[in-house]
Amino acid sequence: MAIREILTVPDPRLRRKARPVKKVNKKIQALFDDMLETMRAAPGIGLAATQIGVDLRLIVLELPEDEEENPLAGQPIFMVNPELVSARGREEEQEGCLSVPGYVGYVERATEVTVQGLDRHGRPVRIDATGLLARAFQHEIDHLDGVLYVDRLKGPDKLYRIVEAEEEGEESGGEEPPAGL
């Protein structure tokens, strides 16, 4: 496994539409291992292959274990060729991206989604996701289409720069920024 460089804006490779994976083989599995290690080191809770400059439809997600309401929390989810099958509800929430460091935005997304694709062994998989996991799937699938969350903001007032604790003073008590995706 190896930690890869995460591309950041305005790298044009983040704007490419990634190609579908034809065969899930050892190369793909090795890529997934690198993606997981890179995501954990960042640290983040989601990563698309596009973000490490790989032009293939692969995503990795891993919610923190304390996301108790989510049965898939604390375990990595690998998906090849993920597709949004259906989406329900709308909710505006804070979102951050490893490729847009230093910022968070309020982004409207579906609250519940069904996603299908292949797992890391090439077997078909279908996941019903809610809350943070649903948001993470939508964010990562966007990456595969060259779309960033900043494209989905309803206005410039929805984007905020993250103020570091030192700048703000220790008594800031500010809200933790969302985990990167």
Our finding on whether 181 is near Ni ion (CB under 5 A) is yes
Number of residues that bind Ni ion (CB under 5 A): 2
Residue in 80, 97, 104, 110 binding Ni ion, rule: CB under 5 A: 97
Q: Which is nearer to Ni ion, 24 or 140 (CB)?
A: 140
Catalytic residues: 140
Answer for the pair 14, 106: CB distance below 8 angstroms, yes or no.
no
Residues 6+ apart with CB under 8 A from 32: 58, 60, 78, 120
Q: Least Å distance between CB 139 and Ni ion?
A: 6
Q: Least Å distance between CB 170 and Ni ion?
A: 29
Q: Which is nearer to Ni ion, 106 or 122 (CB)?
A: 106
25: left (phi over 0), alpha (psi -120 to 50) or beta: beta
Q: Which is nearer to Ni ion, 67 or 122 (CB)?
A: 67
Residues 6+ apart with CB under 8 A from 135: 93, 95, 107, 109, 181
Q: Rounded to 5 degrees, what are φ and ψ at 148? A: -110, 155
Q: Least Å distance between CB 110 and Ni ion?
A: 17
Chain contacts with Ni ion (rule: CB under 5 A): 97, 181
